Chains A and B, each alone.
Chain A
Amino acid sequence: MKTLIAFIIRVASTTGSNIRSNTQVFFVSVATIAIALSILGVFLVIFVNLNSFLSTWSGQVQLIIYLNDDLTQSQLHQIEQTARQNGFVESVTFNSREQAWENFKKDFAGKSEVIEGLDINPLPASFNLKFKEGADRLEHIRQFADSVRDTDGVESLDYGERWIGRFEKFMVFLRIFLLGIGGLLSLGLILIISNTIKLSILSRQDEVELMLLIGATPRFVKSPFLLEGMIQGVTGAGIALGILKGLQLYIEWQLHHTFESAVHAMEIQFLTPPFIAGLVGLSVLVAVVGSFIAIQQFIYPEAK
C-alpha cells in the first residue's frame, strides 16, 4: 500500500514537472484538443436538438384511419376492435363525417367562402389513434398502420409517414456524418497529442534513459506521460464544453433579443450527460492512445 502511494506521488510529481518544463507545448496541445472537440460538440448539439425535436414531434403523432363512406357497421366495429386490442394503442376516438365537417367549419370559419357554399360533406369519418409513450412509438404506429391498411372499410391512413421517413433518414445521415467527423478529428488529435508527448519525452530524454538504465519498470517510465496525456484530454474536453455552453447561451440570448416574444419559449438543448461523458471519454481515450504511441515509438526502439 505504501509502495503504491509512493508510486502515485512519484507519477503525479513527475507529470507536474513534465508539464512545467513544457508549458507552452502542453497548452498548445490542450487548445488543439479543445478546438477539435468544440467542432465535434457543435455537431453533437445539433444532433441532440434535432433528436429531441424528433422525439417531441413523434410524441404528438397520431394515426388517423380514414374510413370509406359506404362502410358497414360490422366493418366499423371490426376496425375499432382491432385498434383497441393493440397493446400499444392508448386511446381510440371516433370522428363521424358530421363531426369532422363541423370541426372543419369551426376551424376555418370566415376564412373561406367556398366552404360556406358547399352543400355536401366531402370529409370521411375517421378513427384517431393515440399510441402509448415509448422510444418505439413510431415503429408501433408504422406496424399497426401496415396491418390495417388493407382492411375493408379503410380508405387511407395518415401519420405523416413520408415526413417522418425523411427526417429519420436525415438523422441516420447525421449519425454517419458525426461518426465520420468524430473519427477524423480523433485521428488528428491522436497525432497531435502523440507529437506533444514526444516533445515532452524529448525534453526529459536523459532522465527517461537514466530511469531505464537504473532499472525502472516500464510502468514507472510510462505512467507520467500517460497521465500527462490524460490531463491534456480532460482539460481540452472541459474547455470545449465551456465553449459549447457559452455558444449555447449566446445564441439563445441573441434569439430572445431579436425575436422577443415570438420565440420566447425556444431553447437550445445542451448536450445530455451521456454525450458529455462520451465527449470527455473520447478525449481521454484519444489522449491516452496518442501518449502511448509516442512512448512506444520513442522509448523502446533504442532500448531493449
Chain B
Amino acid sequence: MIQIFNLYKTYGGAAPALNDISLSVRRGEFVFLTGPSGAGKTTLLRILYGWENFDRGQVLVHGINIVKLNESNVFLLRRRIGIVFQDYKLLPRKTVFENVAFAQEIIGTERRLIRQKTWEALRDVGLTNKKDFYPRQLSGGEQQRAAIARALVNSPDLILADEPTGNLDPEIGIEILRLFEEAQDRGVTVIFATHSQEMVRSGKHPVIMLSRGQRIKP
C-alpha cells in the first residue's frame, strides 16, 4: 500500500525535517506513527497525500509514484485517501450532514447516492442524531466523529489521521481510536499519527517511531 525509500525533506533549516526515512505499510494494516512534536509526523503524512514536496527518495502510495504527480492529477490520489486532522477542519457554515455530503459533491457523486452514503457514514460513527447540528454545537469528540465520517464516506483505501485525538480527553480519544479500528476491519489501511504513548499502548498495532526527522526503534 505504502512504500517509502530513503526519504529526505528539508525546510531550509540546518536539520532536515525527514532524514533517510524508509518504511512500508501493507494493505489493510493499522500503523501508529508516533514521536514527539516536531519529529516529522505531519510532514510525512503531508507528503503521502501530495501536499508537500520532498527533496530526495521514493514514495509509492497505491503503487503511484508521488513525485510524478502534479497539480492537475494529484486529486486522483487524494480521492483514494481519507484525511483526518487534529482540528477537524469541518466547515462552520455547514451542518454535520452537509459537511459529510460536501466531500461527495466535490468528487461528483450522484445526488441520489450522496444522501444514502452520508447517512451510512454518520451511522457508522454514531452521529445520525446530530446530523442537522452545526459544528459549533457539537463537542470535540462529536466533531471528530463527523470528520471521520467525512473521511470514510468516499470509501477510501487509506486513512491518514494526523493527531486525531490530540484535542480530546483520553476516554473520548479511545472511542475515536475504535472507529479507526472498525474502518481497518472493513479493509481500510490506517496510519494513525499520535504523540500519545498511552494511545499507542492501548492500540496493540505496529508502531513507526520518528524522532527529529529520523526513524528510530520504538
Contacts and interface: CB of A to CB of B under 8 A. Distances in A.
A274 interface: no
Contact of B69 (A7, A211, A304): A304
Contact of B108 (A3, A207, A210, A300): A3
Given A3-B108, A210-B91, A215 B75 contact: yes
B79 interface: yes
A135 to B, nearest CB: 47
B74 A304 contact: yes
Given A213-B78, A213-B83, A217-B75, A6 B51 contact: no
B91 A207 contact: yes
B106 A215 contact: yes
B205 interface: no
Interface residues on A, range: 20 to 34
Interface string A156-181: 00000000000000000000000000
A214 B106 contact: yes
Interface string B70-85: 1110111111010100
A10 interface: yes
Most chain B CB neighbours (cut-off 10 Å) among A207, A209, A304 = A304
A215 B103 CA distance: 9
A217 B107 CA distance: 8
A206 interface: yes
Interface string B40-57: 000000000111110000
A127 B97 CA distance: 89
A212 interface: yes
B89 A303 contact: no
Contacts of A214: 78-79, 83, 102-103, 106-107, 150, 154
A158 B90 CA distance: 81
Given A216-B75, A218-B75, A304 B89 contact: no
Contacts of B175: none
A51 B197 CA distance: 82
Interface in B77-126: 77-79, 81, 83, 89, 91, 102-103, 105-108, 110-111
Contact of A304 (B51, B83, B102, B154): B51
A8 B175 CA distance: 40
Most chain B CB neighbours (cut-off 10 Å) among A2, A6, A210 = A210
A211 B150 CA distance: 12
A220 interface: yes
A74 to B, nearest CB: 80
27 contacts: A2-B110, A6-B111, A7-B108, A10-B105, A206-B91, A209-B89, A210-B102, A212-B75, A213-B49, A213-B51, A214-B78, A214-B83, A214-B102, A214-B106, A214-B107, A214-B150, A215-B77, A215-B78, A216-B75, A216-B106, A216-B107, A218-B71, A218-B75, A220-B106, A303-B51, A304-B50, A304-B51
Interface of B: 49-53, 69-72, 74-79, 81, 83, 89, 91, 102-103, 105-108, 110-111, 150, 154
Given A215-B79, A215-B81, A304-B69, 18 more contacts: A2-B110, A6-B108, A10-B105, A207-B91, A209-B89, A211-B106, A212-B78, A213-B49, A214-B107, A215-B75, A215-B77, A215-B106, A215-B107, A216-B75, A216-B107, A220-B106, A300-B71, A303-B51
